[in-house]
Amino acid sequence: MYPSDLNTPSLQKLSSVSSKTHDSLRIMSDAPGTPMSEQSKNMTPPCTPPPYHFGKAPMVELGHRAIPSFSNPAGDNAQGICETTVTPTAGESPSWEMISPRPYTGTYRSSGYEKLGHGAWSTVYRAIETPETPPSTMPTPPSSPAGLPGKSALGRVLAIKAPARNDAHDIIYHEARVLTYLHFSRRASDYLVPFHGYDATSKSLVMDAVPLNLEMHAKCGLKNARANFSTRTMFDPVCGPQEWQSLATQLIAGLDFLHSNKCIHGDIKPSNILLCPDEDGLSKTYTPLYCDFSSSRIITDDSNVSNPEPAPQITALTPDYASPELLTSLRSTIAVATTAADVYALAVTLVVAAIGESPYAGAGMEVLKLSMAREGKVLEFARQADQGTRVMKGKMVERCLKGALEKNVGERSTVKEWKDNVRTIFEG
């Protein structure tokens, strides 16, 4: 997710930062002004973790935003989740080179520091926006639509992504720039986690806290599928066919949005996709939102979108979702995330949404898992799982994902081709 030791690529030690984050393969470098310790090379990257499992974090200073009390007058289900206070503004998006992070001008309460999760470079805390938040008057990019009708911004639950160490400041700042750049588009609110701005005092990102991620949701679906086996549903995704179709359609459209804006996400996986609940009558549906853009790159050269120059940040690969060409390139050359790698990572993510776990879950050892991932046979390995019938040949999931999971980059679908193919399958 961050700057990498591009001169000496090697497989680093896999470790887990929490039970809710995937093991990740980190590749680091000592970028100017960013000293790296040997210990840091074995740590996994941060992601936006699930807010359902809170714990008390050690007290840390979050600048002048910290208030020595923590209270949530609206409760855990506070109003305002997945909404922001900034109204979109008209006008063309400035060039990437001209982008500075949109400043956060509000205030929030974060004492008590309920920790939503942490990684090698950042810790995410739960906070509550306070009534003192002034209306935004900055002629800066929009973040999301204005508050939902009839809902107050008071008591909005926030996620504060703060650097966990001094040499992580540039990483958080880069992510703030990426989010600012993307939110110049009004469509950003359909696909990205709501971003309120960059708190320069604490060098933190201020975002909405979203109550669920795709990794948790898939595991819940797997548990239910195992407990309630039925031959009628054994070929359907664990989350249900209609919901899987909705997730696939929206996530592919979201990836198309990113690539159309010349953004390569670089670390797509279930834990980096948040699910915002949308109550519709008696049924509950979800809007999937991309988060954790610390590995992302903005490519400004149209002729080089698929093969960008490495950015001066740390990068990380999560082996379960990394494309075979990225994993193979680690042996002899520089690993650079591409649009094709994003397509592959999202396709593996949708496999997990269908079977409830990683297609390599049965590997046992990390070395074996890495070897399996390099083979580029995701669906074949997924069919060996106890829920493998859900990705059988000729069924909906396999037909939708086959082109996006091609091992050969030249044969792999682009996101636009993939979107058209999936639309045709679903309409048929």
Determine the pLDDT at residue 295. Answer: 87
Alpha-carbon gap, residue 195 to 203, rounded angstroms: 14
pLDDT mean values, one per 10 residues, the chain (428 residues): 36 34 41 39 40 31 31 32 38 81 90 73 89 53 43 70 89 94 94 96 94 94 94 94 96 97 94 86 80 89 49 62 88 78 98 96 89 95 94 95 96 97 92
Give pLDDT, residue 111.
Answer: 56
- Asked if 70 and 315 count as a contact pair (C-beta separation under 8 A), the reply is no
Residue 118 pLDDT:
74
Domain 51-208 CATH (choose: 2.50.20, 1.10.238, 3.30.200, 3.40.1000): 3.30.200
Q: What is the pTM of this model?
A: 0.75
* Residue 208, C-beta contacts closer than 8 angstroms, at least 6 positions apart: 80, 81, 82, 83, 84, 144, 156, 157, 158, 159, 193, 194, 196
H/E/C letters for each residue in 178-209? HHHHHCCCCCHHHHECCEEEEECCCCEEEEEC
Tokens of 107: 């205030």
The end-to-end CA distance of the chain, in Å, is 39
Task: For domain 214-427, give its CATH number from 1.10.357.10, 1.20.120.430, 1.10.510.10, 3.40.50.300.
Answer: 1.10.510.10
Give the start-to-end residue ranges of the domains of the chain.
51-208, 214-427
Query: Would you state the pLDDT for residue 284?
Result: 73
pLDDT at 289: 97
For residue 375, the model assigns a pLDDT of: 95
Q: Which pLDDT does position 364 carry in this prediction? A: 81
Output the pLDDT for position 148.
Answer: 37
The length of the chain is 428
